[in-house]
Structure 1
Amino acid sequence: MNLLSSIISKLARNRFWRVQNWSNHPVAAQRQVLQDLVSAGQYTELGRKYHFEKLFTLKEFKKHVPIHEYDDIKNYINRMMEGGENILWNTPVKWFAQSSGTTSDKSKFIPISDESLTDNHFKASKDVLTNYYNNFPDSNMLTGKSLVVGGSHQLSKVNDEIQFGDLSAVLMQNSPFWGQWLRTPELSVALLDEWENKIEQLAQTTADENVTSLAGVPTWTLILLKRILKIKNKQTIKEVWPNLELYINGGVSFVPYKEQFDKIIGAKINYLEIYNASEGFIAGQVKPDDDGLLLFTEHGIFYEFMPVEEYGKDKPQTVGLKNVVLHKNYALVISTTGGLWRYLIGDTVIFTSINPYKIKVSGRLKHYMNAFGEEVIVDNTDKAIAAACEKTNALVSDYTAAPVFFSDNNNGAHEWLIEFEKEPDNITAFIYELDNALKDVNSDYEAKRHKDIALRLPIVHVLPKDSFNEWLKSKGKLGGQHKVPRLSNERKMLEEILKMNF
């Protein structure tokens, strides 16, 4: 082990007491985070609007500050991107993480302040490393390189000072020197935005490195690993990187991919899941076999948990850590050092443990597909269906869709079941129009569809009329408020309906 790796390894191991401190006293840690946030926020435009200088208790904070969704703060963020200061946060914000859009925009832009980077993303990353070394004290991970398969958006400039891009690109650009030194490939390759070229460059520049850890969304990582095997003419990744010991995944469920990773890697390694969203680094798995991710309570984010049945009410209620219960579905509400205040992130979580607090992402508040990081919501698909109908002289009465997961021979896809009131003149043309319309309304879907690298063209089955009603009837749910969910992130329902009709 070289000197720098040895120093970093020692620091990671020696800071475990800090992790123990906040994980053993999470409520106290959260109390301090909220106090620090409100103290800083009182000097902002939003803080003055809601009189942060008078908010001395959590009860007052919740009473005076409403829960926000992205559209509620979009105008604030737009002004920040134009260079406005002290709007949502009290220090200059020069970076924004771009992710898939809301119901009215193709993309949304999440403010990333210096405090977001230092006190949240980088601190949480160090704590993941610390926990790993505590569990695997003989690890030699830092003797080699970490290969991060980042996002698909190159950094873009709004002006001379303001930049935006995929979260991973923002983090790579701002990571400390030791992070740059331990990572492969060089930044110019890591930030490429044309995915066909990027995968090729990643493969060519890392195939001969001593890679000891991987991180990234499973879909892109699998594509890269398959290309590396072809370049090296090997059967397993362990033949290419014999010292590989860890894969960190997040963004989508790893369950459908684990078998493929086991096969392509060819030997046992450790898998760890993290929950690192554009809005903040929220949680991380402590041990590979843990049921749930440890909630990071001292990392610049204050958490509230909204029972999902409260969503849509005029004054939805939230609870704090002391009042959460196991296995109940909560919508996550956060306040952050990036200037998000009581922000409804859109994810739902359940608690798998109370002592310590561990969570799992259980889904989204609305139906969605996110098997490949595409984050397609019903509003996206409703608009795409309408556009395709208009272009092909069709009329859809109902539909549902679910992902087709990666296989040895094929990339992923979305599979659609559609009942037409009036069928299109040409079903192939309808599929192409549907696909193009989804690209227009969702930037993450557009990126995953680029040259069929992760997602191929949608698969569409035309159902006989009343097929959905027959399925509902078989479930005893025909009539009333019951309806077929438009989107699902797993295939059970879709396969049941297919089996009834084909």
Structure 2
Amino acid sequence: MAIIDITFPAKILRVLGLPESSPRRTQLKVLKKLLRKARFTEFGQQYRFDEILLSKHPGKKFQELVPTYNYNKIYKDWWHKTLEGVPDVCWPGKIKFYALSSGTSEAASKYIPVTNDLLRGNKVTMYKQLFSLRNYEDIPVKSIGKGWLTLGGSTELQWDSVGFYAGDLSGITQKKSPIWFQAFYKPGKKIAKQKDWNKKLADIVEKAPQWDIGFIAGVPAWVLMCMEMIIKRYNLNTIHDIWPNLAFYVHGGVHFEPYKQSFDKVLAKPLTYIDTYLASEGFLAYQNEQNACSMKLNIGEHIFFEFVPFDEKNFDSDGEMVDEPETLMIHEVEEGKDYALLISTSAGSWRYLIGDTVKFTNTDKCEIVITGRTKHYLSLVGEHLSVDNMNKAIQLVSEELHISIPEFTVTGVPHGNFFAHHWYLACNDNVNSEQLRYLIDEKLKELNDDYAVERKSALKDVFLDILSEEDFLTFMRIKGKMGGQHKFPRVLKGKMLQDWQTFLEQTKKPVN
């Protein structure tokens, strides 16, 4: 039976937008709400939001009149004005908060606008996910009321004299969180403000015996490191020796399966894993059923979604979107195809390429899986290898060999007159590298027909080096990418690849 057997009043369900009507109708309602709110802004006036609202087909009119944007373009044309204190640019009023985001490969920080309207929409989405726990089974109810440990970035925000705060989204969210949440929130305000990630982890380890944790949220690599540090510090067998009520782990941003075996080693009993899709630009999707392999797209609140088929017609070889891509609305997508996401939000992001690719597993329920990044895929010779393919291959090989591979990255390299792929894996288990290389190659051939074809043609070989997990973490420290929001890129290109190769040479790690 469900852990929370409650029938909620219709009024509460209506406020949360549950249940939703047809996806098309729901999304058009969201679009009209966004357009009405922003029609008197500079952006809304230039792109004739009033005309779109009067149109019989506002979705198509919106696509016709408003151009698509990536970060560099929307910053250059619009968002730079908001950083100078100009109000009513892309969203009503002055922007008082910016989430600093560098993604997984770019060095320069991006300033993503965060408004009260966006935070309100994120909060409602969080409540929807909490309400979905009523559908979960065999989970101790008492764990919900215990401490919620969030391993995020520093909540200490930077103040700019122009009149805005900037920092991690987790810091902004914490600053605006309701009073009731403080009773559950760990590690507490003092530790959460700590900017030195190593010091923050050390403080959490020190305080761990004083807490009764039921929930943990954060990126898998950092959460695992924290639990391992606690186990070592107090000479425990598992994390449940100190937190017996730990039952939930909320994760997002990366595929979890490569980490599962490593998590199992530090647990005395299974956790319920809950996937989320929370980006600096908004709370896009969440897992709403126990053991689900997909997430429900958040179509009814504060985000209007469009979908660009992720193919050579719409993206170049570097993953850059063309100027006038083919764009589809929610009712036009098909299951099993890769799409890049465009979002329009209540923070003044308009037809904005967020950089992720998704695949629909159920169009009626609007359920998706994240398949990768537009710039994090390999197609040197037409092999079209996605991060989703890589994750699945690693998962299958890990299960077959009973090993843990918590981190990996791949790059394309010249090989004579042709090309090859070079894998770098973190694995502390005893494994034969040649067997591992062979199995990954074979799994990819099974998962991806294009890859199988090119392995007989221009993709001549596969190289593989086994490193320690500490090597990956050390490189992230050197790059200044320590902390809850940072993930190791699954595909290395450009400057990041050069820095990685330099790091391996300096530490005398094998480089083919």
**How many Å apart are 1:86 and its aligned residue?**
0.6
Distance change (3 Å), C-alpha of 1:10 and 1:22:
closer
**How many Å apart are 1:273 and its aligned residue?**
0.6
User: What is the alpha-carbon distance in structure 2 between the residues aligned to residue 71 and residue 271 of structure 1?
Assistant: 35
Q: Which residue of 2 aligns with 1:73?
A: 74
Of 68, 86, 95, the match for 2:97 = 95
Distance change (3 Å), C-alpha of 1:446 and 1:306:
closer
SS of 1:28's equivalent in the other structure is helix
Q: Which residue of 2 aligns with 1:28?
A: 25
Q: Which residue of 1 aligns with 2:212?
A: 210
Q: Which residue of 2 aligns with 1:230?
A: 232
User: What is the alpha-carbon distance in structure 2 between the residues aligned to residue 403 and residue 235 of structure 1?
Assistant: 30
User: What is the alpha-carbon distance in structure 1 between the residues aligned to residue 287 and residue 476 of structure 2?
Assistant: 37
**How many Å apart are 1:285 and its aligned residue?**
0.8
Q: Percent identity?
A: 30
Q: Is the 8 A contact 1:285 1:294 kept in 2?
A: yes
Distance change (3 Å), C-alpha of 1:131 and 1:109:
same
Q: Which residue of 1 aligns with 2:147?
A: 145
Distance change (3 Å), C-alpha of 1:280 and 1:226:
same
**How many Å apart are 1:246 and its aligned residue?**
0.5
TM-score calculated relative to the size of structure 2: 0.71
Q: What RMSD in Å do the two structures reach over aligned CA positions?
A: 3.9
Aligned residues: 412
Q: Which residue of 2 aligns with 1:359?
A: 368
Q: Is the 8 A contact 1:353 1:359 kept in 2?
A: yes
Task: Specify the code of the residue in structure 1 equivalent to 2:52.
Answer: L
Task: Specify the code of the residue in structure 2 equivalent to 1:45.
Answer: E
Q: Is the 8 A contact 2:258 2:407 kept in 1?
A: no
Q: Which residue of 2 aligns with 1:265?
A: 267
Q: Is the 8 A contact 1:207 1:232 kept in 2?
A: no
Q: Is the 8 A contact 2:155 2:172 kept in 1?
A: no
The more displaced of 65-74 and 172-181 is 172-181
TM-score calculated relative to the size of structure 1: 0.73
Q: Which residue of 2 aligns with 1:60?
A: 61
User: What is the alpha-carbon distance in structure 1 between the residues aligned to residue 484 and residue 275 of structure 2?
Assistant: 23
User: What is the alpha-carbon distance in structure 2 between the residues aligned to residue 353 and residue 209 of structure 1?
Assistant: 40
Distance change (3 Å), C-alpha of 1:331 and 1:132:
same
User: What is the alpha-carbon distance in structure 2 between the residues aligned to residue 45 and residue 438 of structure 1?
Assistant: 41
Q: Which residue of 1 aligns with 2:479?
A: 439
Q: Where do 5+ consecutive residues of structure 2 fail to align?
A: 1-5, 316-320, 378-386, 392-404, 431-436, 438-470, 489-499
SS of 2:163's equivalent in the other structure is coil
Distance change (3 Å), C-alpha of 1:223 and 1:342:
same
Q: Is the 8 A contact 1:439 1:445 kept in 2?
A: no
**How many Å apart are 1:26 and its aligned residue?**
2.8
Aligned: 1:113 with 2:115: yes
Task: Specify the code of the residue in structure 2 equivalent to 1:49.
Answer: Q
Aligned: 1:38 with 2:40: no
Of 193, 196, 220, the match for 2:195 = 193
Q: Which residue of 2 aligns with 1:422?
A: none
Of 406, 409, 425, the match for 1:404 = 425
**How many Å apart are 1:445 and its aligned residue?**
12
Of 302, 326, 351, the match for 2:335 = 326
Question: 1:263-309: CA deviations, max 9, x gaps?
Answer: 21220121111010111111111123112101111120000011012
SS of 2:240's equivalent in the other structure is helix
Task: Specify the code of the residue in structure 2 equivalent to 1:125.
Answer: M
**How many Å apart are 1:161 and its aligned residue?**
3.2
SS of 1:227's equivalent in the other structure is helix
The more displaced of 306-315 and 247-256 is 306-315
User: What is the alpha-carbon distance in structure 2 between the residues aligned to residue 104 and residue 225 of structure 1?
Assistant: 29
Q: Is the 8 A contact 2:219 2:484 kept in 1?
A: no
Question: 1:16-49: CA deviations, max 9, x gaps?
Answer: 5666734453322211110011111212111122
Task: Specify the code of the residue in structure 2 equivalent to 1:147.
Answer: L
User: What is the alpha-carbon distance in structure 2 between the residues aligned to residue 207 and residue 281 of structure 1?
Assistant: 32
**How many Å apart are 1:448 and its aligned residue?**
7.2
Q: Which residue of 2 aligns with 1:174?
A: 176
**How many Å apart are 1:222 and its aligned residue?**
0.8
Question: 1:201-236: CA deviations, max 9, x gaps?
Answer: 112223321111111000110111111112332111
User: What is the alpha-carbon distance in structure 1 between the residues aligned to residue 239 and residue 419 of structure 2?
Assistant: 44
User: What is the alpha-carbon distance in structure 2 between the residues aligned to residue 436 and residue 248 of structure 1?
Assistant: 23
Q: Which residue of 2 aligns with 1:127?
A: 128
Question: 1:368-417: CA deviations, max 9, x gaps?
Answer: 68999999999xx99xxxxxxxxxxxxxx9886545346479xxxxx9xx
User: What is the alpha-carbon distance in structure 1 between the residues aligned to residue 115 and residue 322 of structure 2?
Assistant: 31
**How many Å apart are 1:52 and its aligned residue?**
1.3
Q: Which residue of 2 aligns with 1:468?
A: none
Task: Specify the code of the residue in structure 1 equivalent to 2:28.
Answer: R
Q: Which residue of 1 aligns with 2:444?
A: none
Q: Which residue of 2 aligns with 1:47?
A: 44
Q: Is the 8 A contact 2:259 2:406 kept in 1?
A: no
SS of 1:322's equivalent in the other structure is helix
